[in-house]
Amino acid sequence: MKHTINAESPDSEKVDLSWLSNPPRHVAVIMDGNGRWATKRHLPRVMGHRAGAESVRRVVTASRQWNIPYLTLYAFSWENWTRPRLEVNALMALLEEFIDQEIQTMLNNSIRFSVVGARERLPESVFKKIRMAEDRTSACDRMVLTLALSYSGREEIVKAATAFARDVQKGILSPEDLSAERFSDYLDSRDLPPPDLLIRTSGEVRVSNFLLWQIAYTELHFTRTLWPDFSEEDYRRALMDYQERVRRFGRTGATPDEGAI
């Protein structure tokens, strides 16, 4: 179901937003570098994820304060299932803990919680907790926090193609009815606008199967900062960088009146 998000809250007057005249509507983040952060400190990798969860809190809080209506975080990829069982279990436990600890804050700040990805692969307790958080926050309308869990961009596209093929098989649609717009309606993320900005931390410069369909015209920002070190200032820098980009969406940049050839 499409929903309207009105990010501007009455308390937004208290925050100086003069630096953010052209905010992105949707920010997506590949939170990378938790393991390296921990290894550098001779700590178990799980401690890196725990520190990463603090960065999640920071970025969610800043997004809400800065009136960014959609924030999508890559918290666990389809490929992450191949990690050692202990690490996977620790990540699942962290997720449950995060939801338990943050549900009230989400409600207080009218943040709607949602998940994209193959949730049926998640442990039952996580699956249930997600559903509970989605249900309880379903009327929240200031911001949408989406976690990509057990997520693969290619799988999302394949699932959408299968669903479309079924509709054709049932005679509801014909193959010619398919357009890029209609196809988007079959994606898990159909309720989200495409990201305006994708941030990846830790110095890796790739998109790693994240929101492949949706990032066609997204601005990309890469930083060497490891995710647990990603501060409010780093986030602000990413948004400043975004604001300097000229987004043409394949056009020339000149309006037709200015004589574009």
Phi, psi of 72, deg, nearest 5: -125, 125
Contacts of 170 (CB under 8 A, 6+ apart): none
Cα 209–Cα 131–Cα 30 angle in degrees, nearest 5: 25
* Residue tagged 């997600």 (tokens): 130
153 in a known ligand binding site = no
Binding mask 160-189 toward ligand FPP (x if CB under 6 A, else -) reads ------------------------------
Task: Output 28 or 160, the one with its CB closest to ligand FPP.
Answer: 28
Residue 211 sits in the site that holds ligand FPP (CB under 6 A)? no
Count, residues near ligand FPP per rule CB under 6 A: 20
Helix 85-108 and helix 124-136, axial crossing angle in degrees, nearest 10: 10
CB distance 88 to 82 below 8 Å? no
Residue type, 237: R
Residue 31 sits in the site that holds ligand FPP (CB under 6 A)? yes
Residue 35 sits in the site that holds ligand FPP (CB under 6 A)? yes
- Rounded distance, CA 119 to CA 121, Å? 5
Helix 45-65 and helix 85-108, axial crossing angle in degrees, nearest 10: 20
State the catalytic residues: 32, 80
Task: Output 91 or 160, the one with its CB closest to ligand FPP.
Answer: 91
Residue 24 sits in the site that holds ligand FPP (CB under 6 A)? no
Binding mask 58-97 toward ligand FPP (x if CB under 6 A, else -) reads ---------------x-xx---x-------------xx--
78 in a known ligand binding site = yes
Q: Contact positions toward ligand FPP, by CB under 6 A?
A: 31-36, 49, 52-53, 56, 73, 75-76, 80, 94-95, 98, 147, 202, 227
